[in-house]
Amino acid sequence: MADLVRDNPLALAMTNGSADDGPYATHLPVIPDPQAAGEWPADLTGATLFGHMNRANPHWRALESKDVILLAFTGPHAYVSPAVYEVTPAAPTWNFTSVHVRGVVEKIDSVEETLDVVRATALSFEAQFGEGWDQSESVDYFRKILPAVGAFRVTVTGADGMFKLSQEQPAEVRDRVQKSFSGRECTRHRQTAEFMSRLPLTGV
């Protein structure tokens, strides 16, 4: 679960809102606490995550410290054609990976702490997905746009992972699905195949 969250950091953040305005949902980038040392616990409980969103977003205005939040992270996923099974009857399905993280929100009021979250987010993603961009000359620009940014931390209270990767199929069928995904040009299919490679090789 920790690998999926780190590799797919664009989460769908959901909170209940009030009875009048209903639930809120916002896609936003999330990072682990850059000051935390060591590995996350297996169920992520106790981990600290940071996120931010536009203060003009109605979700931000409705968000309160101590609110319960659900962060949904979606990992690799791909359609499974019954043709790959080479047996009939068969039904199509979708292989997918996801992690739902529950936690308690703490809104960050400090300008400097908000800047720290923005800078840490940029550093984290540039290191993992970028091309070596140096943010040092953009810090003043960060400060200029900071009044529009709302940052928050989440203390994780629990998480559930869903890794639906043809486990219900016999080993030989699962192997055909994995090989089919591996041979596709689509990166998403190949990433799903990589997750499937972590499954036990024994049959159902």
Write the pLDDT tens digit of every residue in 152-167: 999 999 999 999 999 9
Q: Is the pLDDT of residue 19 over 50?
A: yes
CA distance 113 to 79: 42
Give the model's pLDDT for residue 204: 47
The per-residue pLDDT for range 46-71, each reduced to its tens digit, is: 999 999 999 999 999 999 999 999 99
Q: Is the pLDDT of residue 146 over 70?
A: yes
Average pLDDT, the chain: 93
Q: In the chain, what are the domain boundaries?
A: 2-75+95-165
* CATH 2.30.110.10 holds for 2-75+95-165: yes
The per-residue pLDDT for range 58-110, each reduced to its tens digit, is: 999 999 999 999 999 999 999 999 999 998 898 999 999 999 999 999 999 99
Distances (CA, A) of 54 to 61, 135, 145, 147, 149: 10, 20, 10, 9, 5
Model confidence at 200, in pLDDT bands (50, 70, 90)?
A: low
Q: Is the pLDDT of residue 190 over 80?
A: yes
Model confidence at 176, in pLDDT bands (50, 70, 90)?
A: very high
Q: Please name the residues in contact with 153: beta carbons below 8 A apart, sequence gap of 6 or more.
A: 33, 48, 49, 50, 105, 106, 108
